[in-house]
Amino acid sequence: MDIRQSYVVKTDAKRRILLRGKPYPYYRVREFSNGCLLLEPREMVAPQGITAGDLEDLENMAEAFPRGEDDAD
């Protein structure tokens, strides 16, 4: 892997750092016990819509789900 940028950053009062020229708006951060941070770019995508068949299956399961009866006699 080639190094694209190398610079020193200082955390601000809220322990944040500023990434220069970041190409992605979201990153997954992994912090290791030795203090190293690994940033992996993430792209947020809209979840796929639920199909009509799946929705019908969910409704059928909800109707068939046993309802708890209050046995506080």
Q: What is the mean pLDDT of the chain?
A: 85
Cα distances (angstroms) measured from residue 52 to each of 7, 42, 64: 52, 30, 18
Q: CB of 31 within 8 A of CB of 37?
A: yes
- Checking if the pLDDT of 53 tops 80, the result is yes
Task: Determine the 3-state secondary structure of 60 from DSSP.
Answer: helix
Q: What is the pLDDT confidence band of residue 72, given thresholds at 50, 70 and 90? A: low
pLDDT of residue 71: 55
Backbone angles phi, psi at 23, to 5 degrees: -85, -15
List pLDDT tens digits, range 14-46: 989 888 888 888 999 999 999 888 899 998 877
